[in-house]
Amino acid sequence: MANRYPLILDTTDGNKIKELPAGDNLYLRNNNITDVQDITALGTIEAGNIVIAGKSLFAQGFTELQDVPPTYEGSEGFLVRVKTDGTGLEFSPQNALGSISVNRITMANDLVPTTNDSGQIGTNSKRFNEVNATSIIGDLRARDGTLLIDVEEKELPYGIITGAPTSLSEFTNDVGYQTLIQVRAEILSATEAFAVGQIDITGSVFADDSSLLVDGVNGNLVTSKLQQDGATDGQALVWSDANNRWEPGAAVGAGVDLTAFSVVQAAPGTAGLAYNNVSGVFNYTPPNLSGYLTIAEFNNQIAAADFAGITTADITNWNTAYGWGDHSTAGYALSTSVPTVLTDLSIVDGTAGQVLQANGDGTFTFITLGAIVESDPIVGAVNGIVKADGAGNISAAVAGTDYSTFDGAFSSLSGTPNTIAGYGITDAFDGTFASLTGTPTTLAGYGITDAFDGAFSSLSGKPTTLVGYGITDNILLDGADISVGEITATGLDFTGTGVVTISSGNNIVLDAAVGVGNIVASGSRITNVGTPTAGTDATTKSYVDGLIGNESYLKFGTSTSFNPGNAGVTAGNVMQQEGGGDIEVSLTVTSGFTNVLVTLDAAIWNLTDTTTEAEVSLQRQVNTGGWTTVRRLIFPVADTYYGNAMFQHYDTHGANAGDTVAYRIINSMDISYSSEQLRLITGMCGDTMGVKEV
């Protein structure tokens, strides 16, 4: 097949017919080349649109490609990925992409799982080298899964602390706890220091192995430390008259909860013991012993009595004299012959206050004493305790040298024994109830004749109101605050004009018939809702508005029937609305939004050449800056269609929050065409232009 060359008429060279010179163009505007078999080009083929087999050679949009989805609808926010069978591209939600391998992830906000308590960061075999964070909230576990810190209980298990003490003896006793040996020593010292008295021991009691015997904090006796002493399962303490002690034996009667009893001691008076079978309280009135002698007073009375000076020798002498027989027949003087007063001795009686003075001749005379002056005093003025040296000299005694300064405290003694046996006690009580003898086996044995069976129904005369029970701080549902752990009721009504506040340290769950019922606000608003993190969370209007973003629309045509439009718009100028004014629309950028979807529903014809398509440009302006062309739009030839064309453009504007972004349509026929005029046709379809943040 030979090559043929087109012939032209060269008007610049005498209208000669010649072949088309190299470098010249074959101008075929408004003409077509049809039924061409093959086209071979050495350079670039430029055309508004190249259609092969009814399809454009170059796709004008992503969805026009053959191996991609045909529409964007229903795939908002999706990503593009290669199909699993490798046959093309498809839209896919982010959570369906599977594993993504990247070198670095930089985030401005949160990394949140779609389901609570799911997913993990790293594995036991593939771990991150280091995690840097302001705070980490959650349980802390060792590599083998051992719980180290429980975030819910806010506890660190004691068992994981290396070198932590395992018994009380390893702790520093900085609060003065006493061991059993120390308590026994205190008891023994107290019993030796005081003949009669009562000893109060305050605090907990521990055994030699640091195990707790008496819980002084909670007021409990650790019953597991009581000795079994031969007791078997089901036995109780019963009194043995034969052995005069409490011993294990068969339980008699239903028994009572001993913790339900208490004793209140009244002031001394008429001795008595009363039991309140409602409160379980024994009211004990000790006898008034104020009229009786104490042991110390009794000893003082004995010491002051006439017979206090009688000795064993006196009694021996009396017995000897008694052995002499009847003294009345022994010739002893009778009582009538024994002088009984001084006048019986021929001594003249004196006056009151006089003293008897020996005259030196065997006679006595009553005289009146004057002031007595010691001519050779031995003792001067002495304060406090004095001492005598055996030679008639008396002086002040020196504390600690001449007499003891012992303060009476057991702790001041030295060389005290450290065992009960050291005090000579061979039958010390070991502190266990089982070691007691002669304990009663029934309540009656304790003197209780009206024992309460413990049942509330057995009480008589029960009050019918809270006040009747002496409860003065009951909950009054009349404007007062209510603080409870849990309320279970068939219904709760909150009425009044005040504010009902429900607070909790954890979640507050409103479960209306397990999802069947409704939570009705009766037209009121629910305010101060937090930012949602899950798809089922409630949210606020401002949050929804923030997701929607701003939008703005312009209706540039008002006709309801075909309107050929205004006069033509020349190339490079803004297309005009039907009623006048630029076709331009703008919005204010919302924080978090960087993209705008621009839509145009219009019919624009080539006014100069109705057989040529019409081209316009979509331009963008940020604030008051210059206009930038972001997209060129082609409208079909006017006589090949009837109706509007619909365009959409997804634009990343690059503006900041608060900026104003504007879009307009201009005649761009001066770029690839011959600067033809364009005009707007209205009344056929929507005739609108809009911008919406996405």
pLDDT digits (tens, 9 = 90+) for 664-690: 999 999 999 999 999 898 988 889 999
Domain-located, residue 203: yes
451 and 564 share one domain: no
Q: Is the dihedral of CA 559, 564, 568, 569 positive or negative?
A: positive
Domain-located, residue 515: no
Maximum average pLDDT range among 53-62, 102-111, 418-427, 680-689: 680-689
Domain-located, residue 283: yes
Domain-located, residue 604: yes
473 and 549 share one domain: no
pLDDT value of residue 195: 47
Q: How many domains does the chain have?
A: 2
Cβ count near 193 (within 10 Å): 13
Lowest mean pLDDT among 15-19, 315-319, 370-374, 651-655: 370-374
Closest CA relative to residue 678, chosen from 605, 600, 597: 605
> What is the C-alpha to C-alpha distance for residues 68 and 49, in angstroms, rounded to an integer?
21
Does position 599 have pLDDT exceeding 80, yes or no?
yes
Cβ count near 612 (within 10 Å): 18
550 and 666 share one domain: yes
Residues 6+ apart with CB under 8 A from 674: 29, 608
687 and 605 share one domain: yes
Domain-ending residue, one of 446, 462, 477: 477
Closest CA relative to residue 367, chosen from 380, 375, 376, 358: 358
Percent of the chain with pLDDT over 70: 84
> What is the C-alpha to C-alpha distance for residues 659 and 589, in angstroms, rounded to an integer?
6
Amino acid at 669: M
Does position 6 have pLDDT exceeding 70, yes or no?
yes
462 and 574 share one domain: no
Residues 6+ apart with CB under 8 A from 160: 146, 148
Domain-located, residue 349: no
> Which residue segment(s) compose the domain that 470 sits in?
184-292+404-477
Cβ count near 264 (within 10 Å): 12
Q: What b-and-e string marks burial along 118-152, b requiring 16 or more CB atoms within 10 Å of the CB?
A: eeeeeeeeeeeeeeeeeeeeeeeeeeeeeeeeeee
The whole-model pTM stands at: 0.31
Could you read off the pLDDT of 504-533 as tens digits, one per residue?
Answer: 777 777 777 666 777 887 778 888 888 888
Residues 6+ apart with CB under 8 A from 285: 265, 266, 267, 268, 269, 270, 271, 272, 273, 274
DSSP line for 631-674 = EEEEEPPGGG--S-EEEEEEEE--PPTT-EEEEEEEE-HHHHS-
Q: What b-and-e string marks burial along 294-320, b requiring 16 or more CB atoms within 10 Å of the CB?
A: eeeeeeeeeeeeeeeeeeeeeeeeeee
Q: What band does 616 get if pLDDT is binned at 50, 70 and 90?
A: very high
Could you read off the pLDDT of 347-371 as tens digits, one per residue?
Answer: 788 888 788 888 888 788 888 876 5
Could you read off the pLDDT of 237-291 as tens digits, one per residue?
Answer: 778 888 887 778 776 654 566 666 788 888 888 888 888 877 778 888 988 888 7
456 and 563 share one domain: no
pLDDT value of residue 337: 62
The C-alpha angle 77, 82, 87, rounded to 5 degrees, equals 135
- Is residue 602 exposed (0-12), middle (13-18) or buried (19+ Cβ within 10 Å)? buried
Domain-ending residue, one of 477, 510, 531: 477
558 and 466 share one domain: no
> What is the C-alpha to C-alpha distance for residues 319 and 313, in angstroms, rounded to an integer?
10
Q: Pairing relation of β-strands 89-92 and 205-206?
A: unpaired
464 and 571 share one domain: no
Q: φ, ψ for residue 581 (rounded to 5)? A: 100, 150
**Enclosing H/E stretch for 339:** none
Are 277 and 450 in contact by the 8 Å Cβ rule? The answer is: yes
pLDDT value of residue 334: 63
Q: What band does 372 get if pLDDT is binned at 50, 70 and 90?
A: low
Lowest mean pLDDT among 123-127, 261-265, 344-348, 575-579: 344-348
CA 19 to chain centre: 96
Domain-located, residue 51: no
Length of the chain: 694
Domain-ending residue, one of 458, 477, 496: 477
466 and 554 share one domain: no
CATH number at residue 681: 2.60.120
Domain-located, residue 261: yes
Are 649 and 618 in contact by the 8 Å Cβ rule? The answer is: yes
Domain-located, residue 645: yes
